[in-house]
Chains A and B, each alone.
Chain A
Amino acid sequence: GEDVEQSLFLSVREGDSSVINCTYTDSSSTYLYWYKQEPGAGLQLLTYIFSNMDMKQDQRLTVLLNKKDKHLSLRIADTQTGDSAIYFCAESRLGSSYKLIFGSGTRLLVRP
């Protein structure tokens, strides 16, 4: 399989934590990325993790990687209404460093 899969939709209350999940199938993944897309805009790189790492934290963002289960998650602490957007998981693969394989995106809705 060549897919990167994400759930389509997540709704959280303002101030709560959000966890967006992603699964991938290729064990040769080198880097895994999270991008954010606001309405009508392009993709903004949020963070990325090298495949030999388990965790990366950057302010309100925490990325967890379970390489055995091929599972990646993005946790957003203290979620704000400005975090409402589509979040894309993407992977790059060994021997194909030019290409990114994207998931279909998770739409995060933050309720006041």
Chain B
Amino acid sequence: DVKVTQSSRYLVKRTGEKVFLECVQDMDHENMFWYRQDPGLGLRLIYFSYDVKMKEKGDIPEGYSVSREKKERFSLILESASTNQTSMYLCASSLTGQPQHFGDGTRLSIL
């Protein structure tokens, strides 16, 4: 079974902090994704990566950056956290042309 692991289930940070969300997958998938989920808005793609050191902006990249130094790990970075980034963050991975598999999510609160 595919395992996508997000480092934290719950995280509380303060406005202005630099925040790192980590995601690791164990199935040698080339594609990895970061989404945020907000009530009534469904899932929105922030960034994705199709190979090590490669990244593409999704639909809402503003205020975020990503890092993919190793194939199994994809990090989402909030350079200076703001209250409107309070959300549920979901990581996913896939082989190209195959379904995406999701982690359990990180519920992030910015105070």
CA distance A99 to B50 in the complex (A): 11
State whether B40 touches A98 (Cβ < 8 A). Answer: no
- B23-46 CB mask vs A (1 if < 8 Å, else 0) is 000000001010000001111010
State whether B48 touches A102 (Cβ < 8 A). Answer: no
- A28-40 CB mask vs B (1 if < 8 Å, else 0) is 0001010100001
Cβ 8 A contact of B43, one of A40, A98, A102 = A102
B76 within 8 A of A: no
Contact residues, A91-107 vs B (CB, 8 A): 97-100, 102-105
A105 (CB) vs chain B CBs: closest residue? B42
Kindly specify which of A12-20, A42-50, A55-63, A73-81 makes contact with the partner chain.
Answer: A42-50
CB distance from B14 to the nearest CB of A (A): 23
Cβ 8 A contact of A44, one of B9, B40, B42, B102 = B102
State whether A42 touches B42 (Cβ < 8 A). Answer: no
CB distance from A71 to the nearest CB of B (A): 18
Number of chain B residues whose Cβ lies closer than 8 Å to a Cβ of chain A: 26
State whether B41 touches A98 (Cβ < 8 A). Answer: no
Give how many A-B residue pairs fall within 8 Å (CB-CB): 48
CB distance from B3 to the nearest CB of A (A): 11
B96 within 8 A of A: yes
Cβ 8 A contact of B45, one of A42, A97, A99 = A99
State whether A102 touches B42 (Cβ < 8 A). Answer: yes
CA distance A73 to B91 in the complex (A): 26
Q: Which residues of B contact A104 (CB under 8 A)?
A: 40-42
Q: Which residues of A contact B102 (CB under 8 A)?
A: 35, 42-45
A30 (CB) vs chain B CBs: closest residue? B97
State whether B99 touches A97 (Cβ < 8 A). Answer: no
State whether B105 touches A42 (Cβ < 8 A). Answer: yes
- Knowing A33-B99, A102-B42, A102-B43 touch, does A41 contact B104 (C-beta < 8 A)? yes
Interface pairs A-B: 6 shortest CB-CB: A42-B102, A104-B42, A43-B102, A102-B43, A42-B104, A102-B42
